[in-house]
Amino acid sequence: MSTENFEVKAYPEMWAELDMDVPRFDKARQMLGEVYGKMYLTQANRPEKMAYFDNMVSEIFGGRIKEMLEVKKTGKPIVGTFCVYIPEEIVVAAGGVCVGLCGGSAGSIPDAEKILPRNICPMVKSAYGFKAGRICPYFQTVDFVYGETTCDAKKKTWEILDRLVPTYVMEIPQMKKARDRTLWIEEVKDFKAKVEEVCKSEISAADLAEAIKVINNKRKALQRLTALRAASPAPISGKDGLLIEQIAFYDEPVRFAEKVNALCDELEQRVAAGIGVIDVEAPRIMVSGTPMALPNWKVHNLLETAGAVVVNEESCIGTRYFKDLIDENQTDMDRQLAALTDRYMQIDCSCFTPNDERIDQVLKEYRSSKAQGILHYSLQFCHTYNIEEIKIREMCEQEGIPYLSIETDYSPEDVGQLQTRIEAFLEQIRG
């Protein structure tokens, strides 16, 4: 697929039926296609199996929405999410679709700022704005939105979002003591009851067991991809790695795992033959911090345009989402839900205190990815990650790891400044 003929496909009649602002959304669709073509399809020596993920972007507002609407016609739930703490296995067990919602673009923020404060997280504003402006087909398709209490901006925004779309909020404890686990299990049980209410049927232990295997297989495929990115020379670009991780939140999970594994087969052949997407001398960078919702590719693009390669994402869009699996050996519902909760409690979001396990995990992933420097990425007003960055920086100083911290938003206004800082950071690594 060439840059010239790539487009994010238009489905104006379907969008109109979903009560979208079609003229405005169509402009955003065209812009996304143009940016994607220039940023992704101009990359040299891309793996052939990336064609599937290019097609996913082409159909992201059309073909995938049609698939979801077909599921919805059967009475199965479509649940929109913003966070890796949703127990998506429960939605899949009900025969439904768990899908990530839009929240990675500056285009919808003016809609949000008509209601919400300006000085809150851009991801929260972006997500709310997509619904308020009726410019996201995923928002227009879901039965309800799943919100969580991982930050103050989110949990208060859910109250306002509930006026526009049914929003179910699950409390995430801020510590990991025994009593917090008890609360968490009860929240998971309540969420299961909510999903059963929507689909008007009960989820069986057999249903949940199969769903756990499905999502485990998706995570195993992403783990395999991450391990292959540690090869030198890197067999795939960081931008493509990030894109795949973002699509993991949109695509049908069984198909997605199959396509990622097919890509990994190709990458294994590349590694064996010593074929990379960039010279072996290119600085290898690990990106750590807040998630990068699609189409937020700014930092990866700056790094790789400057001659580096990104080899790992320690974030909710990256390894924090897929590094842990659920025990598949439980057949009793209560034990299954306990095993599910235990797995989700291993996620080391910065909302937790204390959270030293994340510091240890960053160092572990830095070493396993064979990175040569860490870029810590925080969104503006993301207080938990901005403050936890202090401990990441101290760890890097102690370990002698080249380090750069960036705080930014979705706008292109600071690209020049970031480019200068990133180029200096890479020169430090090159020596």
Q: What is the pLDDT of residues 39-81, one digit of tens each?
A: 999 999 999 999 999 999 999 999 999 999 999 999 999 999 9
* Burial tier of 353 (Cβ tally within 10 Å: 0-12, 13-18, 19+): exposed
CATH 1.10.10.10 for domain 209-325+349-430 = no
Rg, Å, the chain Cα set: 21
| H-state helical runs in 41-172 | 51-58, 63-73, 88-93, 109-113, 122-132, 137-141, 152-161
Q: Give bridge partners of residue 403 from the DSSP assignment.
A: 374
Asked, colleague to colleague, whether 12-197 and 209-325+349-430 share their fold, the answer is yes
Q: Distance between CA 228 and CA 235 in Å, rounded?
A: 7
Give the helix/strand (H/E) hosting 329. Answer: none
Kindly compute the dihedral angle of the four CA atoms of residues 362, 364, 369, 372, in this order, to the nearest 10 degrees: 70
Q: Give bridge partners of residue 275 from the DSSP assignment.
A: none
When the pLDDT of each residue in the chain is averaged and rounded to a whole number, the result is 96
pLDDT in tens, 121-163: 999 999 999 999 999 999 999 999 999 999 999 999 999 999 9
Give the residue extent of every domain in the chain.
Answer: 12-197, 209-325+349-430
pLDDT in tens, 24-33: 999 999 999 9
Give the helix/strand (H/E) hosting 266. Answer: helix 253-273
Q: Distance between CA 246 and CA 317 in Å, rounded?
A: 6
Q: Distance between CA 88 and CA 79 in Å, rounded?
A: 9
Q: Distance between CA 205 and CA 189 in Å, rounded?
A: 13
What is the three-class DSSP state of 294?
coil
* pLDDT class of 34 with cuts at 50, 70, 90: very high
Exposed e or buried b per residue across 281-309, where buried means at least 16 C-beta atoms within 10 angstroms of its C-beta: ebbbbbbbbbbbbbbbbbbbbbbbebebb
pLDDT in tens, 172-215: 999 999 999 999 999 999 999 999 999 999 999 999 999 999 99
Name the token pair of 340.
Answer: 């599910």
CATH of 12-197, one of 3.50.50.100, 3.40.50.11890, 3.60.20.10, 2.40.50.100: 3.40.50.11890
Over residues 361-378, mean pLDDT = 98
